[in-house]
Amino acid sequence: MKIIKVKDYESMSKKAAFILASQVNIKDDSVLGLATGSTPLGMYKEIIQIYKERLIDFSNITTFNLDEYYGLSGKDHQSYRYYMNQNLFDHINIDKQNTFIPNGKTDNPELESNNYDKLVEEKGNIDLQVLGIGSNAHIGFNEPDEKFASGTHLVDLNEETIKANSRFFNSLDEVPKKAISMGMRNIMRAKKIILLASGIDKAEAIKNTIKGDIIPEVPASILQLHPDVTFIIDEEAASKL
C-alpha cells in the first residue's frame, strides 16, 4: 500500500490526473475504471486540460464506471452516465461506444449485472481503477455489510449514503434508494488502483481503511489485500492516520 499525502484538493486532483494520463500514455488501449461523486471532479478537469494541450489520446481507451443509480436513465441529469458525459467524455476524443456504465433503467438488474461483469472480463479486466470513498468507507456503492459483495449487483443504499448524496438532488425524497454497483471482484482484479480522498469528512473512513481490520463493515479495507494500491489523500483526510 502506498500513501501519497498532498496539501489539498487541488494537489490531489493534479496528482491523480498525472497518474491517469501516464497510464493512457504508456498503454493507449488501457481499460480504465472510473468513479463519480464530487471527489474526482477536479481530476477530470485536469485531464481535460492535459487533453487540450494534446498530450493524451483517448481514441483506443475503454472505460467502466463503478456504479449507476437504479431507476435513472442516462438522460437524467442526476445519473452517473450524464455526469460522466458532462464532466469528461464530452470533452475528450473517447469513443462513447467504449464507455460502459450499468444501465439504471434495466428491468432485469441481475442480468444487467452479470453482463457487466462478463464485459469487464472480455475487455481483459481493468488496468487502472480510480476510486473515491464514502464517509462510511464504501467504494463504488459497496456499502458496509456482513460480507464483501463479489460481482456487480443491485444495492440498497444506506441512510448515510442517501443523506450524503442528497446534496446533488432537490430533496431527500428524490435520491434513488438503490444502485447497481460493481462488486469487489472487478475492483480487486484491477492491475492498479488509486483511491482519492479529500476533506475531514473522510478522515475516519481513511483511518479505518488503512489501519483497521479487513472487514466488510469497512468495505474499502479490502484494499489492504491489493498488491498495487495508492492512496492520494489530502491533509484533512489523512489527519487521523
Decide: is 70 part of the binding site for ligand F6P (CB under 6 A). Answer: no
Is 121 a residue of the active site? no
The one segment of 21-29, 134-142, 183-191, 230-238 that binds ligand F6P by CB under 6 A: 134-142
Exposure of 175 in the CB half-sphere (CA atoms within 13 A): 17
Residue 34 and residue 40 in contact, taking contact as beta carbons nearer than 8 Å? yes
Cα-Cα-Cα-Cα torsion 231, 197, 222, 181, nearest 10 degrees, comes to -130
Is 60 a residue of the active site? no
Residues written for the chain: 241
Decide: is 186 part of the binding site for ligand F6P (CB under 6 A). Answer: no
Catalytic residue among 68, 112, 143, 236: 143
Decide: is 35 part of the binding site for ligand F6P (CB under 6 A). Answer: yes
Among 39, 62, 63, 209, binds ligand F6P (CB under 6 A): 39
- For ligand F6P, which residue has the nearest CB? 132
CA distance linking residue 216 with residue 143, whole number of Å: 8
Q: How many residues lie near ligand F6P (CB under 6 A)?
A: 12
CA distance linking residue 200 with residue 125, whole number of Å: 33
Cell of 66: 463503478
Decide: is 234 part of the binding site for ligand F6P (CB under 6 A). Answer: no
DSSP 157: P
CB of 235 to ligand F6P, least distance (A): 17
Is 138 a residue of the active site? yes
In the complex with ligand F6P, which residue's Cβ is closer, 36 or 129? 36
In the complex with ligand F6P, which residue's Cβ is closer, 37 or 109? 37
Binding mask 136-175 for ligand F6P (x = CB under 6 A): ----xx----------------------------------
Is 158 a residue of the active site? no
